[in-house]
Amino acid sequence: MTETTSASRADKILADLAEGLPKGEIPATLYGNRELYERERRNIFARCWVYLAHESEIAAKGDYVLRKIGEDYFIVVRDEDGGVHVHFDACRHRGVQICRADSGNTSHFRCPYHGWTYDTKGNLVGAPLWKNAFGGMDKGANGLAGAARVDSFHGLIFATLDPTAPSLRDYLGGMAWYLDLLFGLNEHGVEVLGAPQRFVIDANWKSGADNFSGDDYHLGTLHKSVWEIGAFPVPFAANMMGYHIQASPGHSLSFSMAPNDDEPGPKFFGFPERLTDTFDTQRISAHQLDAARRSRVLVGNVFPNFSILALPMTEDGANFPPTAVLTIRVWQPLGENKFEVWNWFCGYKNMTPAEKDRSYRAGLGTFSMGGAFEMDDTEPWITVGRTGRSAAAEALDFRLNYQMGMPGIGISHPVKDWPGPGIVYWTRYEEGVQRNLFRFYHDMMTAAPGQWPALGFEES
Amino acid sequence: MSTAADPQLQAEVTEWLFREAELLDDGFERKWLEEMVSRDIVYQLPLRQTVERARGAGWVEGTYHLDERYGSLNTRVARNETAYAWAEDPPSRIRHFVTNIRVTARPDGLIGVRSNLLIYRTRQDAVTPQILSGERHDTLRREDEGRVLRLLERRVLLDLTAIGTHNLSIFF
C-alpha cells in the first residue's frame, strides 16, 4: 500500500507546490504530469472564467465563431436581439457537433445526424417529422446546453461553466483596473484586426501563462536578436525598469515604465500620437491614464490562459519606426504536452486604416508564429515540457527556481505609493508575478466543488 | 489571354524552383534573398478557416500568418544570421519537395507558376517530422535586362487551419 499511485502523484505535486512557493520553488513536474492535467480540465477550465472571443468578431446578428473552453468546443453567437450566447457544441439528441465551421452567420444550427435544429439562442425549434417522432415532447427542456454564465469586459467575452462562479467583475478583481487602462483609453475602445492565428506547440499551456505573467528577464537572452535587428526601441536594461504587479490572486502583469514623464522614449505603448490625442478620462481615472502614458510595455495574464501584450515594435526597422502592437492570446490546452496558441491583433476603432495596417504588420512580423520575437519563445517551452514529463524530475525531486526578487535577492522592492490595486514591485527583476499565478492555480486545483479561493489579497 | 508555357520556359522555371529549394534547404537564405527575390516582392501566407462549402475555401481576407515585403524578409534573414536566433540554432533540417509545376506565360510578360509544396522538417533528435503541405501561387519577373528571373509574388496556401509547427522561422 506504500506505492505512489498516479492519482496521488498529482496530490504530491500540489503539496510540493504549496510547500515550495514561499521559498520560490516549483516542482518541475507541474509542466508535464498527465494526472495533473486531467484535474486542470475539471478544476480550472470547467470552473474559471475563460476568454472566448471579442465582441467585434461577432458584430452582426447571427454572427458566430467556434471556440474552446479547455478542450471542449463552444459556439459564441450573437442572437437576433443582439445578445451573446455561449452554447456547448453538442446536440441534445446524441451529442453530435452542430457547428461545422470556424465562423459564419446563421439563423439556426442544424445537427447533421437526425436534423434537430436550434435557433441562435439555443432553443430547440424543430426536427424532421416532429409530430411522428416527438409530438408531445417539451421543446423547452431540450435546448442546447449553455455556459453557466457569459459576460464581457471592454468587449472581451468570457464564460464560465460553473454556476457557483463569482461574477466576471469579481473574478477579474484588481486586474480590471489594468484592463481598463489598455482597452478603455477612449470612448471607442478596440476591435480585432482580423481572425485569430492558430498554431500548435508540443509544450504545456502553463508556459504561456507563466511567460506573460511578467517574465521580462528572458528578453535579454532569448530575444537578444530583436535588438540586433532593431525591432524594439527600448534598450534591455532600461526596459527592465518598471512595475511587477500581482493585480489580484492569479492575475499578474508587468509594466515597462519610465521612472518619470521626462523620458523621451515611447509613451502609451507606442500608439501613434494622432490616436493618443484622443485618449482621455471618459472611461478611466486620471491615475490610469497617467500609468498608460508612461508605459512602454504592458504584458499580463488573466488566469488561467488569457494573455495580453502591448508594446512598440517594427517588423522592418530599416523602413518603419516601431508602433504599438496590441496582441491578445489564449493558451488553449490540448493535453499535458500540447497546446494551441490563438493569437489576435487588436487596434483602437478610431485608428485610421493605415495605422491599423501598420500595427498589424508590425505585430505579424514580431509577435506571431512567424514573428522575430515569438518564433524563439516556443523553443524553450518545448523542453520545459520535456523536463516536466521526465521520470528524472520525479526521482530527483527537481524544483524550478522562482526566487527572483524575493527578500534579499536582487534589487526589486515593494512599492507602497502606487495608485492602482494589487501587490506592486519596482523593477521587473522579480518573479512574484509568477508565484501569484501558481498560488491561485494551487488553490483552484485543491478547492472543493462549489468552493472558491479568496479573490482578493488580505490586507497586510 | 494567358497561355500554357512552351517546353523551354517550363524547363527554365522548373530549374529555377529546384535551385530555390536547394538554396533554402542548404541554409543559403541570404543568397536566395539577394539573387532570387525581387525588391518588389509580396510574400504572403494567408490565414485559413474551416467554412461551409458555400463560402469557398476559407481564406480569410486580409489576414495572414506571414505578410512580407523585401525589408521584412531581409530582417528575417538578418535575424537568423545573429548569434541569438535560437529558433534556428541548431538549425531545423528542412526539405522542400516541389511538384505539380504549372507554368503560364502571361500577356504582361510576367510568368505565373503554381506548384505543390511539401516541407519536411525535423529538429534536434525528433523522429516525428513536422510536415507542411500546400500550394504556392508564384509570379516570376525577368529583371536586370532580362538576365535573371526573380520572385515577384508568392502566395503560400497551406492545407491547415491551425498550423502544426512551433514557429515559422523557415521560408516557403
Record the cell numbers describing residue B36, joined without a space.
Answer: 532570387
Chain segment A267-295, per-residue pLDDT in tens: 999 999 999 999 999 999 999 999 999 99
Count how many domains chain A has: 2
Chain segment A136-194, per-residue pLDDT in tens: 999 999 999 999 999 999 999 999 999 999 999 999 999 999 999 999 999 999 999 99
Percent of chain A with pLDDT over 70: 98
Residue B94 scores a pLDDT above 80? yes
Q: Which residues of B touch A229 (CB under 8 A)?
A: 75, 78-79, 82
Same domain, A206 and A64: no
Task: Return the CATH number of the domain spanning residue range B3-158.
Answer: 3.10.450.50
Of the residues B74, B166, B168, the best mutation for testing chain A's interface (the one with the most A CB atoms within 10 Å of its CB) is B166
Residue A252 has phi, psi (to 5 degrees) of: -135, 160
CB contact under 8 A, B168 and A318: no
Chain segment A9-20, per-residue pLDDT in tens: 999 999 999 999
The pLDDT of A308-337, averaged and rounded, is: 97
Chain segment A67-113, per-residue pLDDT in tens: 999 999 999 999 999 999 999 999 999 999 999 999 999 999 999 99
- What pLDDT does residue A6 have? 57
Q: In the block, which residue shows the cell 461577432?
A: A58
- Residues 6 or more apart whose CB falls under 8 angstroms from that of A229 comprise A317, A372, B75, B78, B79, B82
* Structure-model confidence comparison of residues A28 and B89, the more confident one: A28
- What pLDDT does residue B1 have? 59
- The residues spanned by each domain of chain B are 3-158
ipTM of the complex: 0.93
Residue A26 CA to chain centroid, in angstroms? 21
Chain segment A206-237, per-residue pLDDT in tens: 999 999 999 999 999 999 888 888 889 999 99
What separation, in Å, do the N-terminal and C-terminal C-alpha atoms of chain A show?
44
Same domain, A209 and A131: no
Chain segment A35-68, per-residue pLDDT in tens: 999 999 999 999 999 999 999 999 999 999 999 9
- What pLDDT does residue A5 have? 60
Same domain, A360 and A234: yes
B171/chain A closest Cα distance in angstroms? 10
Same domain, A192 and A134: no
- Residues 6 or more apart whose CB falls under 8 angstroms from that of B157 comprise B46, B48, B59, B134, B135, B136, B137
* Structure-model confidence comparison of residues A228 and A362, the more confident one: A362
Domain of A253 in residue numbering reads as 174-446
Same domain, A333 and A404: yes
Which B residues in the span 78-97 are in contact with A, Cβ-Cβ below 8 Å?
78-79, 82, 84-87
Q: What is the CATH number of the domain that holds A331?
A: 3.90.380.10
The pLDDT of B154-171, averaged and rounded, is: 93
B4/chain A closest Cα distance in angstroms? 34
Task: Tell me the pLDDT of chain A averaged across its residues.
Answer: 95
Same domain, A190 and A111: no
Quote the CA–CA distance of A388 and A30 in Å, as a whole number: 6
The pLDDT of A418-429, averaged and rounded, is: 97
Quote the CA–CA distance of A357 and B69 in Å, as a whole number: 14
Q: State whether residue B133 sits within 8 Å of chain A by CB.
A: no
- What pLDDT does residue A1 have? 44
Q: At what angle do helices B7-25 and B29-36 cross, to 10 degrees?
A: 150
Q: What is the CATH number of the domain that holds A142?
A: 2.102.10.10
Pick from A88, A120, A152: which residue ends a domain?
A: A152
CB A32 within 8 A of CB A390: yes
- What pLDDT does residue B133 have? 97
Same domain, A148 and A179: no
Nearest beta carbon to residue B65 from set A200, A223, A370: A370
Q: Among A241-250, B99-108, B122-131, B149-158, which is the least confidently predicted range?
A: B122-131
Same domain, A140 and A243: no
Whether A385 maps to a domain, the answer reads yes
Q: Which residues of A touch B163 (CB under 8 A)?
A: 197-200, 369
Whether A4 maps to a domain, the answer reads no
Same domain, A277 and A220: yes
